[in-house]
Structure 1
Amino acid sequence: MPGQRKRKREAARRASAYPGRAGRWEVVFETQDEAEWQAYVRRVRDSRETADPSELRLDTLCGRTVQPTTYRLSRFVPCDDHP
């Protein structure tokens, strides 16, 4: 399957970025308009809202005829399980 090695390598890189940290990915922004998506991502990167850019995940959910392509920006939110 084309790109499988790249996807596995990317998943391993993301998992190793937060060793021992439990958490979840929270959706910050989602749209089906590519221009709006690019403008929002550019604003976030320029404003330096997040201290660590690796806490952001950019997803492109490929669409088909029935379902359009969706663009999503998520941020890693660590769990506060410690009392």
Structure 2
Amino acid sequence: MLERQPRKNRTEVTFILPADTPPGPVSVVGDFNDWQPGAHPLMPRRDGTRAVTLALPGGVEHSFRYLAAGDYWFNEESADGHDGVNSRLRT
């Protein structure tokens, strides 16, 4: 799931997944972090989910995916769209 909070010249995007699906560590990887695995890991939250919030430039479209343990790549179902193997996000 994605949550967005518009700010002055950026959008704060929170990437949210269930606590155990998939199991193990998960990070969000995309053009906003040069596709660097582990740069933005999702962390546990009190409500039983895990998440990470990034401040991204407004008015931009980004490609991203999630990377879980075992080199398991997967997409965000609630993304703005999909481009080949990547999820798309508009800020």
Determine which structure has greater relative contact order: mean sequence separation of CA pairs < 8 Å that are 6+ residues apart, divided by chain length: 1
Alignment TM-score, normalising by the size of structure 2: 0.32
Structure with the bigger percentage of helix: 1
* Greater strand proportion: 2
Larger radius of gyration: 1
